[in-house]
Structure formats: structure tokens, C-alpha cells
Structure 1
Amino acid sequence: MRVDGTAGSATPKRVTKRRIQTRERLLDAALLVFADEGFGRSTVEQVCERAGYTRGAFYSNFASLDELFLAMWEQRSAQMLIDVREADVATRAKQQGPVTLEAMTAALLEAIPVDDRWYRITAEFTAHALRNPSLKRVMAARENAILATILPLVEAGLAGVGRRATDPQALGRALVAVHDGTTVQCLMEPESDTVRRARTNLFVSVLRNYSEEV
């Protein structure tokens, strides 16, 4: 499976404004199709119909639905990192005194929203990837890359409240596990303030237990 966006061509295609717009429309259409139909039941034809393009337009940008999903995931991950950075700045700007661990955690969670549609899509794609060894390796590598990018932001946030991670890698894995588990709980009970508070408290506990005062 190719994941470099060249759709099997030996010569990289020139990136034009029109090409960028086409990719964006295909990505937007795929998000709707995957959410409505489920990844396993979605087809290239459905994505093309929703986007208003031909199969040729699709295959000039993506080699497969797998590659399209990975591009979508990368796009959303990049935006999440931007949101996390901005959340940290916003928290510091709003605080009159020292930033607390609780305030930092709340700001970070606001930057990583619980999205029912996106969770369903990623859960289905993860199940699909587990049946495909090469795709599973790609997913694992990208998850590790995202974690490596997020961890410095978390460590900077901890430093802002006078703490440091005792084991950054373990902290990162624990945060991912808590995020995944509590996301399901929040989606099952979307109106429950108790579940939301428990989610925040769990994140605070993990950050505190995997860090120490400096």
C-alpha cells in the first residue's frame, strides 16, 4: 500500500491550487460518507458522488480509501496540535496567578474534543487495520509520531505548573489510554456532567502520578 500521496506514479505530481482544492473536497466528502455508511461499507464511487468528482479525480490524488483516510487523519492531527498549542496560550492569558494543573488539563481537553462522528470512523478503521499487517504498522508509526509531537507540549504544560514528567513515554501511553476509554464513556452519556468531570479528574490524576514537583 502506498501512503505517500503519489497514487503509484514514479514522478511526483505538481501541487496546484486546484489540486489542493480537489483533495480538500474529497477529504470532506469522505468524512461524511465514512460517518454515514461506515468505513467498511464505503466505496470510492460514494466519495466521488458526494464530492462531485469522477473516479479519475479520486485516483489522481489517492491510491485507495486507506490512503485517503490516513491523509484525513494526518490533517486532523495537525489541527489538533495547533489547537493544543493555542489552548496553552489561552490558559496562561486568562489566569491571574500561577497556572494550576487542573486549569491546564481542562484547557488541553477542550482542544481535544469528544467527536462522535470521528470516533466512529477511527474505531472502524482501526478494526480494519488490525486485519492488515502493513496498514497496522503504518498506523502504529503515525500514532507514535503524533505522541512524540504532543509529549513536548504536555511537558511544557507541566513545567508551567512547576512539575516534570518522571517517565514521559509512560505518561504519554497512559494519557492515550485514558483518552480512548473516557471518550467512549462520554459518547455513551453525552449529557452527563458526572462523566465529563470524571474524565477531567482522571487526566489530572494521570498527570500528577506520572510527574513530580520541581
Structure 2
Amino acid sequence: MTVEDLGARPKRRRAETVERLLDAALETFAEVGFAAASVEDICRRGGFTRGAFYSSFRTKDELFGALFARETTRDLARAEQQLTGIEREADPVAAAVERCLSTFRADRTWVLVLTEYRLHAARHPEAAAALAEHAAELHTRLTELIGGAATRSGVRLTLPAGDLARIITALHDGSVISHLPGAGPLDDAEATALERTALVLLLRAAVSDPAPTD
């Protein structure tokens, strides 16, 4: 075993600890809410002591920032993978929606946790500032993803890619919230079908004739 291997061990252990803390935090926030969840609750679920928590994060809000980065990065990576080769589809718009719906369905727990944190941020200026910074970075990356997919597919957007990114995000988040258990008459399959229809209509309205080629 080399010196480098010995030096890498603490880094791997810390990374594993952080991942388990984030997993525990997501489950705890989804179960009892961000405000009600305590550091002790998160540590208990993850099998850690308070010391393990504070060796990685100063506050619960800082942990949420790391959770935001992880979950949104995962979602974007899934979407990017699913949009690969979209230009070869006969109907890129319908294909994009169908491919990405699996990602949208997978992140519903995260959407609920994020929505509750937004309410927390509305009452706490420091949390609001941090959330705005995280959201701005996500918006930039989502805008680039949409713009790249449009370019590869040879279509022109009728509105800026950044505006379309905001509309898609709002539509998805609203769909999740409006179809919580007991919040409406639709079951999960019906809610997914409705979201599919809304996204297809939105994207068809957002693209015009194929971009001219040189």
C-alpha cells in the first residue's frame, strides 16, 4: 500500500459519510419536514453521532445546500443522458418529453422537500440568499441543456431557452404539488399522463420551423 493510498482513505470515508448524511437528510425532510427535522433525527437515521454531522456541515441549511447540489446534478445528468441522440428521432419534441418523464417521476420526493425549503427560505433571508444562488446555477445548467438539445435537433425556439427552462420547471413542480395524496382526484398514472400532455403542448408551442442549415 502506497502513501497515496493511505492518504486517500480518510477522504473516501468522509465522502461516504457525507453521502449517507445526505440520504438520511432527504428521507427525514420528506417524512417530517425541514423545520421539524433535527440534526439528531438525521444522525439517528443515518447511524451517526452529532460529531459526524458537524465534521461535515456547520448547519442544517448548509447540509440542504449540499443536498440541493447532489439531487439537481443527478437529475440533470439523467436528463442529459436521456436526450442523447434526440436529433435522430422522427419527432424530437414528443421523444424528449417521453424520455424525460422518467426523471421527472423519479425526483418527486425531492420536489416536495425543495418546495418546503422554499417556504422556510421565504421567512429566513440568509436561507433565501443561498437558495437563490443554488437556483441560479441550476437554471444556467438547465438552460444550456435545453439550448443544446434544440440545436442538435435542428429546431428554433420561439422564446429564450432560459425562459423555457423556468416554465418547464414551474409546470413540473406545480404538477407534483397539485397531485399529492388527497390533493386531487387524479391517481399517479393520470397525473403523469396529464403532465405529459402539458409538456408536449408547451414544447410544440416553443419551437418553430427547423433552423436553416448552411
**TM-score of the two chains, using structure 2 as the length reference:** 0.82
Q: Structure 1 pair 59/193, CA: closer, same or farther in 2 (3 Å)? A: closer
Is residue 30 from structure 1 mapped to residue 22 from structure 2 by the alignment?
Answer: no
> Per the alignment, do residues 63 and 99 of structure 1 end up closer, same or farther by CA in structure 2, a change over 3 Å counting?
same
- Contact 1:99 1:160 (C-alpha < 8 Å) held by counterparts: no
Among candidates 163, 175, 179, match of residue 155 of structure 2: 163
Contact persistence 2:139–2:165 (CA under 8 A): yes
Counting only pairs closer than 5 Å after superposition, residues 48-87 of structure 1 correspond to structure 2 as 48-87=43-82
Q: Which blocks of at least 5 consecutive residues in structure 1 are unaligned? A: 1-13
Q: Mapping of 1:1-214 within 5 angstroms? A: 16-89=11-84, 98-113=90-105, 115-166=107-158, 167-188=160-181, 191-213=187-209, 214=211
Structure 2: any 5+ residue segments left out of the alignment? 1-8
Alpha-carbon separation, structure 2, partners of 1:76 and 1:192:
22
> Are the aligned partners of 1:114 and 1:183 in contact in 2 as well (CA < 8 Å)?
no
Note if contact 2:71-2:110 (Cα within 8 Å) is conserved in structure 1. no
Greater mean deviation of Cα atoms: 163-172 or 110-119: 110-119
The separation in 1 between residues aligned to 2:190 and 2:45, in whole angstroms, is: 39
Cα distance between partner residues in 2 of 1:48 and 1:24: 12
Cα deviation code 1:112-154 (max 9, x no counterpart): 3254432332222111011111211221221121111112221
Name the CA shift for 1:191/1:71 in 2 (closer, same or farther; >3 Å).
same
Check conservation: 2:104, 2:172, Cα contact below 8 A. no
The count of residues paired between Structure 1 and Structure 2 equals 198
C-alpha root-mean-square deviation of aligned residues, in Å? 2.3
Please state how far the C-alpha of 1:190 moved relative to its aligned partner: 6.2
Q: Partners in 1 of 2:156 and 2:112 — Cα distance?
A: 34
Alignment partner, residue 5 of structure 1: none
- Does the 8 Å contact 2:92/2:153 carry over to 1? yes
Matched position secondary structure for 2:35: helix
| 1:18-55 Cα deviation digits (max 9, x unpaired) | 11111111111112221222111111111112222211
| CA spacing shift, 1:206–1:112, aligned 2, 3 Å | same
> Do the aligned residues in 2 keep the contact of 1:101 with 1:161 (CA within 8 Å)?
no
Query: What's the TM-score once normalised by structure 1's chain length?
Result: 0.82
Q: How many Å apart are 1:62 and its aligned residue?
A: 0.3
Sequence identity (%): 30
Letter in 1 for 2:168: L
Q: CA deviation at 1:99?
A: 4.1
With over 3 angstroms needed to count, the CA separation of the structure-2 counterparts of 1:145 and 1:122, relative to structure 1, is same
